Amino acid sequence: MSVKGSFLRPFLILFGDILIVPFSYLAGYWIRFGYVAGFSEKFPLWFVPLIVLSYLGIFYFFDLYKLKKDSLTFSFFVKIFLSATLAAVFVSFLNYAIFLFPIGRGILVIANLILLFAAFAWRGFCYRLFKYLIRPRRVLIAGAGKAAQEIARVIRYADDDYEVLGFVDEETNNIEKSGSGEKIRMLGNADQLLSLVEEHKIDQIVFAQGEKDNPRLAQKILDARLKGIEVLDMPDMYQALEWRIPINYVDENWFLKEKSFEYPKNILIMRAKRLSDIIVSFFVLLISLPFWPIIALCIKINSRGSVFYTQKRVGQNESLFFLYKFRSMVDKAEKDEARWASENDKRITLVGKILRKLHLDELPQFWNVINGEMSLVGPRPERPEFVEELKKEIPYYSLRHFMKPGLTGWAQVNFPYASSLEDSREKLEYDLYYISHMSLLFDLRIFLKTAQKILLEKKA
């Protein structure tokens, strides 16, 4: 199988799931009743594709079609369990909505237990099969400076699909010292690039230097591209593997070229996003309202002070608004000065820890969403005091205010609390990636990963 076979990986896993899902329900029916003669009455032939599509869709949004080095761990097994459970609940409601009778708990439980272990085993088999049959993409990195060494580190540790063969620079002695401990293998200089591509059967070149810095190397890379070799800039490769924008290795010109940072963004998508914000927020407020008096009573019993906590935050275009939350800290926790919050902050009350763990303290923020000050998904709003400090220390920090802040976001599902300047820098990279790739499907993906994070990870 050629290197292009690596793109067939998710389709092979998908093909297995298409067979596993109906087989699991058929086997579950047989185990439950001892025969399969009545299966078509319980599950009509035209309904089976709907069941399969339900599982495939939810598996996709839980990232079960991209296998990584940690794909055979217990946490990955739990991820499959959550995905199968969510899909089973959806299929059960779908069945009842159409036929007005339930599937049956016995069949549902047995079928999904079979499906759970079969899906996990299938992915384990595929992972080992891919390692033997599919050759990693051979990558040559153009440049030998810090940007080149950083992308080499990312490629080596992020994905099994790639293999870094070495570096090429205009001169073979153009090597900067690396603090990462990465070994540098210089393959040659700019004039040797085309022969090196042929000799090492290079599939991809990552250009880690600007055109103005090295025009001769850029010309050789262009020649390689015209011969059919895929060429990517370092920031694009970094985004593809890390799902964030490397702000230390981009400049203003890079952002100017990015269409996603132009105003306005797609009007139809933004209107659909706003409509979904309003509908979901009204629904959540409606179903949660009966619990508000209970939450308020627990807060009052546990500590003195008001039930609600209002705080000035920075919104879209750096406008200011008041964010609402159920109070989870002691009263007047920041009477002296604004302080970073941390996972094990001593100012958090006992009830506050429970509210934060269940994310119930954020329920009042749905009112901010209805008011149009926030969105369901976006960069988390920061305090003005912190924003002014971070703008001075972190380049391009103001770009995160290009969109409305959100209740959850891409940075939140990929990174814990930001309790330092370096944490904020890394979270900014995720926020800018979200702004650059924002879509309704991406928002849905973030929602599912948020639910997954709440269920799988310990929260303070």
Q: Residue 430 domain-assigned?
A: yes
Q: Please report, in angstroms and rounded to a whole number, the separation of the first and last CA atoms in the chain.
A: 47
- Residue 181 pLDDT greater than 80, yes or no: no
The C-alpha atoms of residue 13 and residue 67 are separated, in whole angstroms, by 9
Lookup result for tokens 């600007």: 210
CATH number for position 145: 3.40.50.720
The most confident of the ranges 96-100, 131-135, 320-324 is: 320-324
Dist. CA 318–CA 434, nearest whole Å: 18
Same domain for 124 and 159: no
* Per-residue pLDDT at 205 exceeds 60: yes
Kindly state whether residues 300 and 374 are assigned to the same domain: yes
* 176-182 contact pairs (CB < 8 A, 24+): 176/144, 176/145, 176/146, 176/149, 178/146, 178/149, 180/149, 180/150, 180/153, 182/149, 182/152, 182/153, 182/156
Using DSSP bridges, classify how beta strands 320-326 and 230-233 pair: parallel, antiparallel or unpaired.
Answer: unpaired
| Any domain includes 354 | yes
- Where on the phi/psi map is residue 380: left (φ > 0), alpha (ψ -120 to 50), or beta? beta
63 lies in the same domain as 86: yes
Range scoring the smallest mean pLDDT among 158-172, 173-187, 306-320, 396-410: 173-187
Q: What angle do CA 16, 22, 25 make, to 5 degrees?
A: 130
Same domain, 357 and 445: yes
Residue 259 in any domain: the answer is: no
What is the rounded distance in angstroms from the CA atom of residue 400 to the CA atom of residue 36?
57
Measure the CA–CA gap between 404 and 277, rounded to whole angstroms.
11
Between CA 210 and CA 254 the distance in angstroms is 11
- Order the strands of the 186-189 sheet from edge to edge: 186-189, 162-169, 137-142, 204-207, 230-233
Tell me the pLDDT tens digit for each residue of 229-248: 999 999 999 999 999 999 99
338 and 324 inside one domain: yes
Lowest mean pLDDT among 58-67, 77-86, 146-155, 380-389: 58-67
| Alpha helices per DSSP H over 359-405 | 365-370, 384-393
Any idea which residue has 């992972």 for tokens? 127
For residues 121 and 147, membership in a common domain is answered with no
pLDDT at 178 over 70: no
Domain residue limits at 317: 267-456
Least trusted range by pLDDT, from 107-111, 157-161, 274-278, 419-423: 157-161
Gyration radius from the chain CA atoms: 26
- Between 70-84, 296-310, 348-362, the lowest mean confidence (pLDDT) is in 70-84
pLDDT on residue 183: 60
Residue 373 has pLDDT above 60, yes or no: yes
**Is the same domain home to 70 and 218?**
no
In a domain, 385, yes or no: yes
> What pLDDT sits at residue 333?
60
176: in domain: yes
- Work out the pLDDT band at 338, boundaries 50, 70, 90: low
Does 174 score more than 60 pLDDT? no
Point out the domain boundary residue: 95, 117, 133: 133
Q: Are 234 and 249 in contact (CB under 8 A)?
A: yes
CA distance 66 to 85: 20
Tally of residues, the chain: 460
pTM over 0.85: no
Pairwise CA distance, residues 437 & 261, whole Å: 10
Share of the chain above pLDDT 70, in %: 88
DSSP bridge pairs for 424:
none
Tokens of 292: 């508000």
Mean pLDDT, the chain, as a whole number? 86
- Is residue 247 assigned to a domain? no
Cβ neighbours for 361, distance < 8 A, ≥ 6 positions apart: 325, 326, 327, 328, 352, 355
pLDDT attached to residue 184: 61
Residue 231 shares a structural domain with residue 82: no
Please tell me whether residues 413 and 283 are part of one structural domain.
yes
- Torsional sign, CA 299, 301, 307, 312: negative
Q: Which of 7-16, 174-183, 237-246, 442-451 has the highest mean pLDDT?
A: 237-246
Are 129 and 145 members of one domain? no
Domain closes at, from 242, 275, 295: 242
Report if residue 223 sits inside a domain. yes
253 within domain boundaries: no
| Domain shared by 26 and 117, yes or no | yes
Residue (of 79, 61, 65) closest to 18 by Cα position: 65
Q: State whether the Cα torsion 196-198-199-204 is positive or negative.
A: positive
More reliable by pLDDT, 304 or 285: 285
Question: How far is the C-alpha of 451 from the C-alpha of 376, rounded, in Å?
Answer: 13
- Asked whether residue 134 carries a pLDDT value surpassing 80, the answer given is no
Among 79, 98, 133, give the residue marking a domain's end.
Answer: 133
Give how many domains the chain has, as a whole number. Answer: 3
pLDDT band for position 352 (50/70/90)? confident
Both 288 and 427 in one domain: the answer is yes
